[in-house]
Structure 1
Amino acid sequence: MANRKILGIVAVIIIILGGWYVLRKTSSQTPTATTQIPVAQATATTSRVTIDYTDHGFSPRNTAIPFGTTVIFMNQSSNKMWVASDPHPTHQGYDGTTESQHCALGYTGPAPFDQCSVGTSFSFTFLRAGTWGYHNHKAPEDQGSITVAPPMPI
């Protein structure tokens, strides 16, 4: 009877040690997945990226940038460009503010900050990580997205 108890204790110890060995070996062999975000036209020494707007839409349409990069939207089309965050027409995707907060009713002065006549530009510095959809409010079918990488730790 005493031999059975000892044999049972030894069996439990072997099972525990075997399980520990298998788990240790499995966790050390698990590959770490990394996702690389392609960074368009920006390097460590630059912090600006240009997106052209032509009669065919935005180019590049989708891009990825480092945190804190300024994107310059150049209007090279024959029409007005009004860069706005998605979704259309509320434009609340990036900062939660609405068109009515950006453009007061009855405003007759110069074009608001993000409206651009032919040959002009609008620039915006992205200080929030994530993927942000945008479009031309004057032609909502012209769309794109900007993926902003998280800030690098200091």
Structure 2
Amino acid sequence: MNTKQGFAPIAAIIIALLVIGGGAYGIKKAMEKKTDKGKQPVESGMPVPGTGTKEKEVFMEPTTLQTKLSEQNASGQGGQAILVQLGTSTVRVIVNLVGKPPIESQPAHIHLGSCPNPGAVKYPLKNVEKGASVTDIPNLTLAQLISELPLAINVHKSAADLKTYAACGDIVSEEKKGEASSMMPVPGTDTKEMIVSRGWKVMYTPQGFSPKTITIKRGDMVVFENKTGKSASIASNEHPTHLLYPEFDQYKTDQRGKTEFSFTFEKVGTWKYHDHLNANVGGTVIVVE
């Protein structure tokens, strides 16, 4: 019997099986690698320095519109309003006035029409107390609000004198991303200055304030949003007297206990602040002309 001739076919079969098996194994490993790659989480956003949080998660800012409120009827008051989209069906309206201190609380509304002679009230806002008002309007989006233009935000002199307007501003449809500057009268004077209006947001998370330091212009508003899940009260240094910038104290405002605290910085300087309920955590706002 010729063993060489009998072994040759068997060897060929064995080699073929090894080739097929190796190819199948290679294909299987390639598929597993592809599957594992597909299971890996897709990350987006840059890491915030000093935290394990992604910047995209920290700065998911809602759409924002800004309205400049100009002095009316020699009231000595002017300022700005910021309209913020919260979630999918709420608009927050933040009104801040500066200038001559009011004698009493001032009614405020979003009116139909335009300044200086707006029409009927479309959306009532909370009264302006000590220069500030925060109102959440439910079942409304900024897109819907824009579709209803022309609209104006109007602050009245007092509840007893609704016909006298103290400050008024038209809501514009363009989103304010970055700076929006224009000439406007300085309340109580005959001069004009270039006022740069900009909205800022600082997030307060379990890792601290982010961004920890911001540089803004005098007259800019900063919104501090508490995302720690705990109570907080933002105030200027030093703890516990807060005398560095006494007005910059959430506890002294009608925003006490709220998760958002908005403040307009009217003083130039370097203002360190902290959480009064957790004084080891703080940040810095640098205000320039």
Q: TM-score range by the shorter chain?
A: 0.5 to 0.7
1:121 to 2:272 alignment: no
Does residue 91 (structure 1) correspond to residue 242 (structure 2)? The answer is yes
Contact 2:234-2:250 at 8 Å conserved across structures? no
Q: Which residue of 2 aligns with 1:67?
A: 218
The one-letter code matched in structure 2 to 1:44 is E
Instruction: Give the whole-Å Cα distance in 2 for the aligned partners of 1:127 and 1:81.
Output: 23
Q: How many residues align?
A: 97
Q: In structure 2, list runs of 5 or more residues that go unmatched.
A: 1-176, 181-196
Aligned pair 1:43/2:178, yes or no? yes
Displacement of 1:82:
0.3
1:142 equivalenced with 2:281 (yes/no): yes
Highest CA radius of gyration, 1 or 2?
2
* Cα distance in 2 for residues equivalent to 1:143 and 1:114: 19
Aligned structure 1 segments of 4 or more residues deviating by more than 3 angstroms: 95-100, 112-117
Kept in 2: contact 1:136–1:143 (CA 8 A):
yes
The CA deviation at 1:67 is 1.1
For residue 95 of structure 1, report the CA deviation from its aligned partner: 3.4
State how far apart, in whole Å, the 2-side matches of 1:81 and 1:98 are. Answer: 11
1:76 and 1:145 mapped to 2: Cα distance? 18
Cα-to-partner distance string for 1:7-28 (whole Å, 9 max, x where unaligned): xxxxxxxxxxxxxxxxxxxxxx
RMSD between superposed Cα atoms in Å? 2.5
Shift of 1:114: 4.8
Contact 2:217 2:288 (8 Å CA) reproduced: yes
Corresponding letter in the other structure for 2:261: F
SS in 2 for 1:94: coil
Structure 2 distance, partners of 1:139, 1:84, is 11
Q: Report the CA distance between 1:132 and its aligned residue.
A: 0.3
Q: Deviation string for 1:102-137 (max 9, x for gaps)? A: 3xxxxxxxxx535344xx200000000000010000
The structure carrying a bigger strand percent of its residues is 2
Indicate the residue corresponding to 1:56 in structure 2. 207
Aligned residue identity for 2:178? T
Report deviation, 1:98: 8.7
Please say if residues 113 and 122 of structure 1, whose CA atoms lie closer than 8 Å, have aligned partners that are also in contact.
no
TM-score normalized by the length of structure 1: 0.56
Specify the SS of the correspondent of 2:238: coil
Tell me the secondary structure at the aligned position of residue 91 of structure 1: coil
Decide whether the 8 Å contact of 1:71 with 1:124 is kept in 2.
yes
Residue 79, structure 1, aligned to residue 230, structure 2: yes
- Counterpart-to-counterpart distance in 1, 2:276 and 2:202: 16
**Conserved in 1, the CA contact under 8 Å of 2:204 and 2:226?**
yes
More divergent stretch after superposition (46-55 vs 129-138): 46-55
